[in-house]
Amino acid sequence: MTDKVKDISAIVPQSEYDALIGRIDNLWTQAKNRAVEAVNTELLDANWQTGQYIVEFEQKGQIRAEYGKFLITRLAKDLTVRRGRGFSRSNLIYMRKFYLCFPKSETVSHLLTWSHYFELLKCEDSMEMQFYFQEAINQKWKVRELKRQIKSSRFQRLALSTDKKGVLALAHKGHPIQTP
């Protein structure tokens, strides 16, 4: 095998071989990225639909107050037995909130992961959530950066500024990038 490699390198210039390696490596990197995006899209859709099913089930119930207290807890137990991890009571509450905060599936951005949405859903104020949602997309924040920005109260600091209209615009459009 070593002799064949020596023969190839004697016939093919190293730069051409390096270009071949680069193209194949790039192909597999792109394939992996597309696969990750597809998985993320499906997981977000499944979480959104789970929230939708829970809300629709709750709204059809006649004695909602009675069973509403126990529905999420019972679902968490039963789904965990059937599906394994990922269906804790807390996660189901966030899936429900995900649907309620983004009632149109088209408004869910697949540029963000479930971990992004999990952090966004912790915001008490819908305008604050919308601000961080737009910023996370526009600035391409990783989850760690989103958490840092929320913890540092970026929205509140901007809201305390004198430009209230500007802050409202940021909540809907995001912060424009000033430098490349």
pLDDT of res. 82: 95
CA atoms of 136 and 169, how far apart (whole Å): 15
How far from 90 is each of 60, 61, 116, 118, CA to CA, in Å? 22, 22, 16, 10
- What is this structure's pTM? 0.75
Give yes or no for a contact between 101 and 126, defined as CB atoms under 8 angstroms apart.
yes
Q: Across all residues in the chain, what is the average pLDDT?
A: 85
37: Cβ contacts below 8 Å, ≥ 6 apart? 110
Domain boundaries, given as residue ranges, for the chain: 15-102, 111-180
| Token pair 């949405």 in the structure block, residue | 117
pLDDT of res. 147: 95
Res. 166: pLDDT tops 90: no
Q: What is the dihedral of CA 36, 96, 91, 81, to 10 degrees?
A: -100
3-state secondary structure 62-131: CCHHHHHHHHHHHHHHHHHHHHCCCCCHHHHHHHHHHHHHCCCHHHCCCCCCHHHHHHHCCCCCHHHHHH
Residues 53-82: tens digit of each pLDDT: 998 888 775 555 455 668 899 999 999 999
Residues 105-155: tens digit of each pLDDT: 888 999 999 999 999 999 989 999 999 999 999 999 999 999 999 999 888
